[in-house]
Each structure stands twice: as C-alpha cells, then as structure tokens.
Amino acid sequence: MAVPSCTASLRSFECRTDPDFSGRFPRPEIPTSGASRFSCKAGGGSASRGLSVHGLSSSLIYRFPPNFVRQLSTKARRNCSNIGVAQIVAASWSNKELDNTPSPPAVKAVDAAAAASFVAPVAENVTGVEEDVAAVVDSVLGENVQPEDLTDDVGYSSFLTSRGSMAIHAGERLGRGIASDAITTPVFNTSAYFFKKTQELIDFKEKRHVSYEYGRYGNYTTEVLEQKMSALEGAESTLFVASGMCASTCLMWALVPAGGHIVTTTDCYRKTRIFIEKILIPKMGVKATVIDPADVGALEAALSRNDVTLFFTESPTNPFLRCVDIELVSKLCHDKGALVVVDGTFASPINQQALSLGADLVIHSATKYLAGHNDVLAGCISGPTKLVSVVRDMHHILGGTLNPNAAYLIIRGMKTLECRVQQQNRTASRMAEILEAHPKVSRVYYPGLASHPEHELAKKQMTGFGGVVSFEVDGDLHRTIKFVDNLKIPYIAPSFGGVESIVDQPAIMSYWDLSQADRAKYGILDNLVRFSFGVESFEDLKRDILQALDTI
C-alpha cells in the first residue's frame, strides 16, 4: 500500500519507483523542466515500474506536498481520530491495476488531476491536489464528520440470541456510529469537540445535529460501550461513569429528592450504606428503612407507612450472596409509586437480567465481571431513557467521567464476558460443594447450594450463580488469617470478578475500623472469607484451597 509522506521542500514532490524484476513495464519518458517540475526517480536498477498515461502505477510510492498531508490529517482527525485516512486515499491511487478495470469517479478524478500535475507548475499542483484530496476524503468518509445518530435500533435480538454474542458485537460491528473499518473500536482521547461552523453549533444546541460538545458529556468510545451494555441488559439506555460507587451515588443524588424515603437491605456494599447514613440522611433529610433482603413483609410495611421514593438493593448481596425476589418487589414498589434499582454486580448480565424481571434500573460495578481483568475502574446504570437521562444530567454536573482508555479496556473485556463468567460459575459451584462438606469449614454462603436460604429463588431468576463463594472457617480471626496466608493462587485484595482469583477476610479488609461487636451487627464475623474464583484451572484452585485448610 502506498503511504503518503511530506517532502522537505515546498517547491516539489516526487515519487520513486520500486524495482520491477519482471521487466514488464518500460520506463516512461517524463518531461521535466528544472526544479519547478515534479520528478520521478528510478530506484533499484534500470528496469523499474513507471507511469501509465491513464493514471499512476500500483507500485509507485508517492511523496505528497505538505498541504496534501494537512488536508488529509484534518479530515482524518474529524472523522475517526487516528484511522490513517491518508493510506485509504493513497491506496485508491496506487492499488489500481494497469488493466482497463473502471475506477470509482472520485478516484478517476484524482488520477486525472495527478496526471495533469506532471506538466503543471508547482503552485498550481498544490492547489489542485488539495481540492482533489478534499473530494476523495469526502467520498470515502462522507462530508458529515460526526455521526448523525448513535442510537439507532440495530435489532440485535432479531439474529443474536446469545448474550455472549451481543457482548462481542453490540455497538461495534452492529450499529457503530464511528467511521472506521477497524475491527476494534478506536480510543478517542479528546477533552472537547469542535464544530465546523457556528451554525452547526447552533444546530447542535437546538438538537438538529448530533454530536458531543465537551468530554464530560460524552465520548465516541464510551458510546460504543454504552450501546454494548444496553444490548446485554435489554435496556433503552446506559450511562457509564468512573466507578461503581460513582454510579450508585450519582443515581441516588438524581432520583431521591430532599426529604425523600429510601429502602435498602441489611446486607450490602458497606460504602453504599455509609453514603446513605452519612450523606443522604443528615445532609439531604432523606429517611431510610433497612430490611432483610428476603423480608417481603418488611418491605410492604415500609411502602404502606411511608412515601417511598426508591428501593435500592443488591441481588445477590455482598458478602452473603442473599437474593431478592426482583419480580415480586418490583410489583409491590410500582403499586406504591416507588422505583426499584438492583445492583447486579455479583450476578453480571450473563447470569441475571434484572430489567426483564421488573426492575426500573440496574447498576453494575464494571470494575468486576464486565471489565474482568482487574485493571480498570468503572460503573454503569442501565434502564429506560427517561430515567437514565435524569441520572446522566446529574452526572454532567457532578463529573466522575469515565476515561476513554478505560472504556476501551471494558469493551475488550466484555468480549470474553460469557466465557469467563461461565467458567467462574462452574468453578465456584463445585468448590462451594467441596467447602460445605469440609470439616474445617463451618458454613458456606452460595446461592447455588440447596442450603442457601434463597436457593429456589436464585434458580428461578438466575441462569448461573456467580464466581464468588463466602464461607466461615472453623476458627477465630487468627486461624482464618493462617488459612488465607497459606493460599498460593489468589491475591489478597478487595475486589472480585476478574480472571485472577482474589480472597479477602471482610473483618479485616472492609470492617477493620469497627470493633468486633460492631462488625457482628452486620454479620461480619472474624472467620468469614470471601473467595472470588478467577479462570484458573479448577483442579489447581481445589488443591490450593485444600492444602491451605490442611495447615490450620
């Protein structure tokens, strides 16, 4: 492929020919007249490819004037970041065979202009080439440099039935608004977007032109990710933000008014509870009712006695993997005018689709299963456009924007989401059974076990039970520490859902600032272990856990 490059001189540009070992093409006679003419030098011997009277040979390597490169790079920047548009145009010239195969009109125009430039003064050459470059770039990429609509209904459900397939193709091969023929989505590292004319800006402001304005309000890489997540969750819209906690707090700021009432569960991510207790209640005058995840009666009582705005729950919960009857609580809440938000991080959209069960919104810490490689922080909210838009407006004010590089990492990670989650499901299910039967384990929390209090509910609303198993070692804090420290494979770290196995002791990792008695109020005993299974070999993980138990 011919690649354009700048020459050092503004007075001329040149092409050199590659050697032709077949001797098929005679060297053409090219008229020259001093430095003001365009020269063609043979390279690599006397037998070399040259020029056709109808255009340029496919073997020529062209060197274009600076204005040519500037014109191309400007168009390339507007359309698709660093796609390499110059190579596309150069290929249109250089890849044309020397037979009589008709060329596209735009390419013919450029060929004709290039042929004419052989006998034209340099000043005229530069102007003509610029005009023809503009015509070719517009022909290849389109005059509109920004996607007109990134939210078309691309109809994934009409031919993709697997969520694994959607995780690979949604937002990219299907319905991508980015002008690129790359398989992978480009990363748009930009803080702002420009408008060609003031009228285009006015059209944007009055919603006649689709674009972005500032990096906090959107990014084309992130838009692809949001489309992908919407397809997985069956949602109209998705918003990605900088972390899972950012998703939770931004959602509550947006949807719970001052003086409103929120219902949540006893078992949940600790920082979510802290935000409700230390921010919403004292600073916003919000009232909160905390119930057991399975206590439907307590939910009904809270709904009947209070003007509840929002029921916020995890399912499964952290760290005891309790399950909420999403279909039932959604009906109860909707009858009273309350919204239902489900944090589905522990399930992932592969194992559970909360929206189809009746929830209004579903959120995820994308740091976990979605990204899947323990290398990025992100969170997302999915649901109907009318609700997600309210949260999005709040997000535009608060910030917490997802970096486009992080968006790219999540897009890449999601392409293996189904493979990873299914492997983690299998490993966790088998290890939960082994742990439950082990004499040095006093209790196991996993919704895939018949002993779990919501096992039947989990079977009803989940297609897999996840890769996290919590269990209590038969011993005290120090005996449990010994078990954790003797594990060879998992990292001691505060996360889950990645390809690497992770283990932590919640009493130390998340609740160490509380006294033992205060930890016990939340059910966090000193011997509790939360084990997130990665995608390592089941046999390796089994041997590692059993040998660590043997040491205590």
Q: Which residues are designated catalytic?
A: 216, 269, 343, 368
* Three-state secondary structure string covering 469-525: EEEEECCCHHHHHHHHHCCCCCEECCCCCCCCCEEECHHHHCCCCCCHHHHHHCCCC
Three-state secondary structure of 190-226: CCECCCCCHHHHHHHHCCCCCCCCEHHHCCHHHHHHH
Per the CB < 8 A criterion, the answer to whether 94 and 2 are in contact is yes
* 136: its two tokens: 């070719």
Q: Would you state the structure tokens that stand for residue 484, as one six-digit string?
A: 């954790």
Using H for helix, E for strand and C for coil, what is the string for 282-309? HHHCCEEEEECCCCHHHHHHHHHHCCCC
Pairing of strands 51-52, 55-56: antiparallel
Nearest residue to 288 via CA among 255, 314, 312: 312
Residue whose tokens read 């309000």: 217
- For 39, residues 6+ apart whose C-beta sits below 8 A from its C-beta are 12, 14, 30, 32
Give one DSSP letter per residue of 388-405, joined into a string. Answer: HHHHHHHHHHH--PPPHH
Phi, psi of 449 (to 5 degrees): -90, 145
- Spatial distance between the Cα atoms of 533 and 502, rounded to a whole number of angstroms: 7
